Chains A and B, each alone.
Chain A
Amino acid sequence: NSFTEVVHSAGRRFIVSPVPESRLREQ
């Protein structure tokens, strides 16, 4: 799976995943 997790020093977790194609605005 293409999720990555980044935990900030203050403890907050950020889960990074690909933006669904349907949600990308036409560039």
Chain B
Amino acid sequence: AEDTGVRVELAEEDDGRKSSIALRLWVEDAKKLKGKSKDNGAIEFTFELEKETPDDVAQEMVDAGFFHESDVKIIAKSIRDRVALIQWRRERIWPMLH
């Protein structure tokens, strides 16, 4: 995945069973963001893998004032890349479950 300057990691072990997963997002390279992002630190949240889209979460983060509107696409892409990896991994490790 392209380096967006925004890091998204699992905030918990993934057992492949839960429909939701805890993720943690933080800015590694603020220069890659268009808007001035506050020094937010790490933002942890729960993501419903089946029901939600990364764009929903990215927009909520902008609404909550963590990021500037102009960065919503970068935030959404960063989350999307991590979610895709989680789903790819789940299908490989627990094929029977998926």
Is B29 part of the contact surface with A, judged by Cβ < 8 Å? yes
Interface of A (DSSP majority class): loop
State whether A8 touches B64 (Cβ < 8 A).
yes
Interface of B (DSSP majority class): mixed
Hey, which chain B residues are within 8 Å of A12, CB to CB?
45-46, 57, 60
State whether A8 touches B60 (Cβ < 8 A).
yes
Question: Contact check: which of B26, B29, B60, B61 meets A19 at CB < 8 Å?
Answer: B26
What number of A residues sit within 8 Å (CB to CB) of B? 17
**Residues in B lying within 8 Å of A, measured CB to CB:** 7, 26, 28-29, 40-46, 56-57, 60-61, 63-64, 66
A-B pairs with beta carbons under 8 Å apart, 18 shown: A6-B66, A8-B64, A12-B46, A12-B60, A13-B46, A14-B64, A14-B66, A15-B44, A16-B40, A16-B44, A17-B41, A18-B42, A20-B42, A23-B26, A23-B28, A23-B42, A24-B28, A25-B29
